[in-house]
Amino acid sequence: MNKVIFKDLQNISYQKAWDYQGELLKELVDRKRRNRNLPEEEQEKQHHYLLFCEHPHVYTLGKSGSIDNLLLSESELEAKEIEFFRINRGGDITYHGTGQITGYPIFDLDCYFTDIRKYVTYMEEAVIRTIAEYGIKGDRSEGESGVWLDVGQPSARKICAVGVHLSRWVTMHGFAFNVNTDLDYFKNIVPCGITDKGVTSLEKEVGYSLDMEIVKAKVKGHYKDLFGFEYVENV
């Protein structure tokens, strides 16, 4: 069974978290290379990581996104104390901030399945199962990643964004699940480049503020069940 080290980085700057993801990705890729020509009994055991965190206010633009979807100037970003990064994940622009569970799985998919669509589906499913525990029905929207409510209706809205990057089948980046998120920050962007659908949070849908630690534990448990791994202490 695959082993995953879980780390809650709490509130951490986007740059520090991005750098850390890169270090872990390199660790997994380097281990794969060292194991490539070794007999199985001599290979180093591959373990994986699941990182949770919250970021100070930041907008991130994926490699296929348009800068036109950022509606603030550089000076306005500075005045509002919001950072901005162009990054190497797929997708367009999104927001990260407090009250949001941002999750970064650093998984070697060679140990699970080499299917990006299935991987994204599992990430979405973990959030769909979590919000179902609060009586909220999440779904997928054809051609649009993430977790949505009221798909196909004028009231369609996104509760979780997903964007990934892979190197030699090792993943980084991941998901942004709006729990107690201040949704006003989404008004400064065209979220994910989608103009005809809204954004929501679990807090908005249920009508009260959630205990973040309880929600994190639910998401963490669903990841374990879906991917079929076990959590281990840092090794």
Torsion of CA 202, 91, 73, 199, to 10 degrees: -20
Q: Which of 53, 111, 160, 192 is catalytic?
A: 192
- Single-letter amino acid code for the residue at 199: V
Q: Among all chains, which residue has been given the structure tokens 């799985």?
A: 105
111 noted as active-site residue: no
Residue 69 has which token pair?
Answer: 């979807």
CB atoms within 10 A of CB 181: 25
Complete DSSP assignment for 22-73: HHHHHHHHHHHHHHTTS-GGGSPPPEEEEEEEE-SSEEEE-TT--GGGB-S-
- The SS3 assignment for 82 reads coil
Query: 171 forms bridges with which residues in the sheet?
Result: 166
* 74 burial via Cβ count (<10 Å: 0-12, 13-18, 19+): exposed
Q: Write out the catalytic residue numbers.
A: 192
